Amino acid sequence: MAGRNLFDYRLVHSARYQKSPLFPIFRRLGATSFLWYNHLLHAVDFEGQAKEQEYWAIRNGVTLWDVSVERPVEIDGPDGFALMDLLTPRDMRKCAVGQCKYALITDEHGAVVNDPVVLRLAENRFWLCPSDSDVHLWAKGVAVGMGLRATVRLTDVYPIQLQGPKAPDVLQAIMGERIRALRYYWFMETEFPGGIPVIITRTGWTGEVGYEVFLLDNSRAEEMLDLVVTRGKPLGLIPAGPNHARRVEASILNNQADMGLDTNLYELGLEWQIEPKERFIGKEALERVRQEGIRRKLVGFEVPGEEAPHEFEGPWSVFKDGRRIGQASAFLYSPSLKKNIGLAMIAVEYATPGERIQVQRLPEEPRHPATVVPLPFIDPKKAIPKRRLDAS
């Protein structure tokens, strides 16, 4: 089949494709295409909008996303903390009530089950805002298998994201200046005008200043979205879907694409997630990896030439001196860097920045010269999303 026909198909409707309370609202806002993600339809494209337009709105303005697919998994009960701490290499004692943590969930091999943002709502109560996988079943299985007094359930809470440097201005127009005091990876429980109950986290998937808003009363979904759009439009707000160019620039990994049950934290450069603690699932396996070393590593690469298409149906193959050494999980054009960039898992001996490699989409297509580069591509210290917003 010719390469141009790779995307010439459609998904048929099914009762298994669930729709959140936000679905009809985002349809009215112009959503035209969707992913199936965590058993929900996830808006990714909007009528009349190019991805580059959305990209620059994320970088310079503000965008509104339907991320109801991140409906939280709740862990609660007397052993809620014990379960949460067992699931992740991160030391959850360092996560205060009111704080969020990016906390990977690992299996017995030290591989990635999921990579949620975790909210600590109470001493033993947590929300996991997951990427695409049935992580609630994994957590429930661990709780049952370990005999823990903990409940695991999918909530009926469906968040939105506001992403971009003007996101604080939109929320300030809704609820006043107190939003500017919310620190990076913390949250507040509050109300929008009219008593609309929400939880707001200062988190996101862009490498820009951003927030997630969790509506706590689904009967008010339309009311909340109307408020956000009305207050946001004078500031240039547009609806958008997740923008892979921006997340790749920031080296924000995509579960089941860049990582998954066949990759461990050392290969991904995420060993900083492994904190000193007595036990967690996968601890022994990850200690063996640390001692023995890794055979492959996730790297960034650059490719000169014409702009890569936004769509990516992979993985692409990676070669060195005619030998296949790995695969690329992302390859796209960066509007800020004005070059093609990508992510690839390759043999560790070729992972040094400056190494020359080749990438290829299909066996009959040409191999493109590429260069290994450090990650992330932009803002390595996360100065953009971490910046203080309440400073004079």
What does the pLDDT read at residue 314? 73
What does the pLDDT read at residue 4? 54
What does the pLDDT read at residue 1? 38
Buried b (16+ CB within 10 A) or exposed e, 30-61: ebeebbebbebbbbbbbeebebeebbbbbbeb
Region 275-301: mean pLDDT is 98
pLDDT band at 15 (very low <50, low <70, confident <90, very high): confident
What does the pLDDT read at residue 14? 82
Judge whether residue 189 has pLDDT over 70.
yes
**pLDDT tens track for 89-121:** 999 999 999 999 999 999 999 999 999 999 999
CB 137 within 8 Å of CB 73: no
What does the pLDDT read at residue 132? 96
Mean pLDDT, the chain, integer: 95
What does the pLDDT read at residue 109? 97
What does the pLDDT read at residue 7? 63
Q: Which residue has the tokens 């390595």?
A: 380
Pairing of strands 316-320, 323-334: antiparallel
What does the pLDDT read at residue 253? 97
Judge whether residue 262 has pLDDT over 50.
yes
* Percent of the chain residues topping a pLDDT of 70: 97
The better pLDDT of the pair 31, 1 is held by 31
Query: Which region among 5-9, 284-288, 315-319 has the lowest average model confidence (pLDDT)?
Result: 5-9
What does the pLDDT read at residue 13? 79
What does the pLDDT read at residue 309? 76
**pLDDT tens track for 21-35:** 999 999 999 999 999
Region 148-177: mean pLDDT is 98
* Residue whose C-alpha is closest to residue 182's, from 166, 168, 162, 165: 168
What does the pLDDT read at residue 311? 67
Region 54-75: mean pLDDT is 98
The span from the CA of 22 to the CA of 6, in Å, is: 30
How far is residue 325 from each of residues 320, 349, 360, measured CA to CA in Å?
6, 10, 12
Q: Which residue has the tokens 């996968």?
A: 282
Q: Which long-range contacts link 115-121 to residues 24+ away (Cβ below 8 Å)?
A: 115/253, 115/255, 115/259, 116/73, 117/185, 117/201, 117/203, 117/212, 118/84, 118/88, 118/92, 119/72, 119/187, 119/199, 119/201, 120/92, 120/95, 120/96, 121/97
Q: Which two tokens stand for residue 247?
A: 């997340």
What does the pLDDT read at residue 221? 98
What does the pLDDT read at residue 166? 98
Region 163-168: mean pLDDT is 98
Find how far residue 110's CA is from the centre of its chain.
Answer: 20
Strands (E), 170-269: 187-192, 196-201, 210-215, 238-239
The span from the CA of 8 to the CA of 46, in Å, is: 18
Region 132-155: mean pLDDT is 98
* Residue whose C-alpha is closest to residue 187's, from 42, 72, 19: 72
Judge whether residue 170 has pLDDT over 60.
yes
Q: For 53, which DSSP code?
A: H
Rg over CA atoms, the chain:
21
What does the pLDDT read at residue 160? 98
Q: Which domains does the chain have, with CATH numbers?
A: 3-7+18-71+157-247 (3.30.1360.120), 73-154 (3.30.70.1400), 295-384 (2.40.30.110)
Judge whether residue 45 has pLDDT over 90.
yes
Judge whether residue 366 has pLDDT over 70.
yes
What does the pLDDT read at residue 38? 95
Judge whether residue 269 has pLDDT over 80.
yes
